[in-house]
């Protein structure tokens, strides 16, 4: 099985930093990272500050907010919902994801994230797993 080991260059569209419209809980964002980081806040009104942020700005702000108490329990489902929306709402991205065929999708990174990705060969690759799951769902629904 082939593997896509980083979400860069031709595969940057797999990254949460890729610019595209996503919706989470009836709020629109300009990238999946902003949607994900905003979900750390329980109060929906407070989430609007993320809607127009660049991905790096959203990530930085997300590190400064007081996390909702249930964050660790819900973060995987939040990511799944955002990724699913990204690839169903944006038809061009949907087909690019489908075109990765059965390649293993690995969110290789240099910043030490071993939950969502893989760093120095170690990690749970949860984002990659979500992407592969969403890809399988999209193929099945075709």
Q: What is the pLDDT of residues 78-92, one digit of tens each?
A: 999 999 999 999 999
Place of tokens 């749970």: 124
- pLDDT of residue 1 exceeding 80: no
Tell me if 109 sits within 8 A of 117, measured CB to CB: yes
Please state the pTM of the whole predicted model. Answer: 0.96
Cα radius of gyration rounded to whole Å, the chain: 15
CA angle 60, 88, 8 (to 5 degrees): 50
| Mean pLDDT of the residues in the chain | 97
Domain ranges (residues) in the chain: 3-141
Are 82 and 23 contacting, i.e. CB atoms less than 8 angstroms apart? Answer: no
Q: How far apart are CA 68 and CA 58, in angstroms?
A: 17
| Distance (Å, whole) CA 86 – CA 31 | 9
Paired residues of 122 in beta bridges:
119
120 φψ region: left (φ > 0), alpha (ψ -120 to 50), beta (else): left
pLDDT of 23 > 80? The answer is: yes
Q: How far is CA 137 from CA 35, 58, 99, 107, in A?
A: 21, 28, 13, 19
pLDDT at 9: 97
**CATH dotted code for 3-141:** 1.10.357.40
How high is the pLDDT of residue 142?
A: 78
Phi-psi region of 107 (alpha: psi -120 to 50; beta: other; left: phi over 0): beta
């Amino acid at each position: 099985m082939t593997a896509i080991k980083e979400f860069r260059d031709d595969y940057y569209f797999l990254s949460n930093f890729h610019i595209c419209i996503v919706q989470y809980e009836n709020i629109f964002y300009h990238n999946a990272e902003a949607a994900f980081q905003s979900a750390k806040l329980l109060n929906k009104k407070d989430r609007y500050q993320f809607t127009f942020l660049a991905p790096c700005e959203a990530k930085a702000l997300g590190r400064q907010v007081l996390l909702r108490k249930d964050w660790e329990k819900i973060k995987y489902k939040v990511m799944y919902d955002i990724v699913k929306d990204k690839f169903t709402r944006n038809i061009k991205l949907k087909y690019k994801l489908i075109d990765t065929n059965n390649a293993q999708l690995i969110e290789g990174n240099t910043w030490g994230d071993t939950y969502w990705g893989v760093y120095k060969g170690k990690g749970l690759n949860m984002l990659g797993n979500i992407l592969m799951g969403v890809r399988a769902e999209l193929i099945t629904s075709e």
